[in-house]
């Protein structure tokens, strides 16, 4: 598997807070990587550093061998890094179709509005929002907004897609649908980094999982390796539980 992205000792400080520290990571082409960790572990900050929202305080971000550490968000977007937001970010006055067409127009390598609309319709059909295409984005339910985020990200023709808690706040039927979509996207050859709290989703979709705690990587491996890792159990459930669990084993 060839390498798509490499992080070299990436750090980000906010004043006295070390939000991301010394994270080194390699992401292969076609991988579905789960990025997990307790609340406040720095998962979203790490994605923000990679996509250029925050600049790394130290370290390098390489994408397809190119140094993109100092790229601004619109540049990373145009180079094939797409993301969905944990807190959904639609353009409220635009229609659902226009929302997706905007993404296709500005990052999908598309010249004209007509072509952008065609791509947008295609992506809306994929996520199952075709019927809502003409509605203003502000009128959608949360589950639909999450799918709109996904359609927007896909319209950018991403090489690497960050999905930041696309399942948070969804009911179990909606989660099933979303999982199906993620699998299909992965099969189409898009590399995915999945930030997720629902372990059911992570375990069934991801080929590899990395765990962040207090801004540092504490584990990297397959699903079964990670869930039996002592440091991971400590991070989630506390030292005492980890001791008890290993005592029993």
Positions in the binding site for other proteins (CB under 8 A): 51, 53, 72-74, 77-78, 83, 85, 89-94, 102-103, 105-107, 113, 152, 156
Min dist. Cβ of residue 74 to other proteins (A): 5
By beta-carbon proximity to other proteins, the closer residue of 101 and 218 is 101
By beta-carbon proximity to other proteins, the closer residue of 66 and 239 is 66
d(CA 207, CA 223): 7
Min dist. Cβ of residue 12 to other proteins (A): 17
Instruction: Give alpha helix (H) positions in the chain.
Output: 43-51, 73-78, 96-107, 113-127, 142-155, 172-187, 199-205, 223-227, 230-237, 239-248
Min dist. Cβ of residue 48 to other proteins (A): 10
By beta-carbon proximity to other proteins, the closer residue of 12 and 152 is 152
> Is 162 within 8 Å of 190 (Cβ atoms)?
no
- Copy the structure tokens of residue 27: 């992401």
d(CA 13, CA 214): 12
Min dist. Cβ of residue 71 to other proteins (A): 11
By beta-carbon proximity to other proteins, the closer residue of 110 and 235 is 110
- Copy the structure tokens of residue 84: 């969905």
Min dist. Cβ of residue 47 to other proteins (A): 11
Min dist. Cβ of residue 223 to other proteins (A): 29
Place of tokens 């390098």: 60
Nearest to 34 by CA among 143, 156, 154, 165: 165
By beta-carbon proximity to other proteins, the closer residue of 71 and 126 is 71
By beta-carbon proximity to other proteins, the closer residue of 106 and 236 is 106
Nearest to 168 by CA among 190, 194, 186, 191: 194
d(CA 84, CA 211): 20
């Amino acid at each position: 598997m060839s390498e798509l992205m490499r992080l070299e000792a990436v750090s980000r400080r906010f004043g006295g807070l070390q939000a991301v520290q010394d994270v080194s990571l390699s992401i292969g082409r076609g991988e579905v990587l789960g990025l997990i960790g307790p609340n406040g572990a720095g998962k979203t900050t790490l994605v923000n550093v990679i996509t250029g929202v925050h600049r790394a305080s130290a370290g390098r971000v390489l994408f397809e061998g190119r140094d993109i550490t100092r790229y601004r968000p619109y540049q990373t977007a145009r180079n094939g890094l797409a993301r969905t937001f944990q807190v959904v970010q639609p353009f409220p006055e635009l229609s659902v179709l226009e929302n997706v067409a905007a993404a296709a127009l500005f990052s999908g390598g598309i010249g004209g509005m007509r072509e952008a609309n065609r791509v947008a319709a295609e992506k809306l059909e994929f996520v199952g929002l075709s019927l809502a295409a003409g509605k203003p984005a502000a009128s959608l339910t949360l589950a639909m907004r999450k799918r709109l985020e996904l359609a927007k990200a896909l319209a950018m023709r991403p090489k690497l897609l960050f999905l930041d808690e696309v399942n948070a706040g969804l009911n179990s039927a909606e989660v099933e649908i979303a999982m199906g979509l993620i699998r299909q996207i992965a099969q189409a050859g898009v590399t995915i980094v999945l930030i997720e709290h629902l372990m059911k989703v992570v375990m069934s979709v991801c080929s590899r999982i990395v765990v962040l705690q207090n801004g540092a990587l504490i584990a990297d491996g397959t699903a079964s390796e990670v869930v039996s890792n002592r440091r991971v159990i400590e991070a989630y459930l506390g030292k005492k539980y980890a001791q008890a669990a290993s005592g029993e084993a």
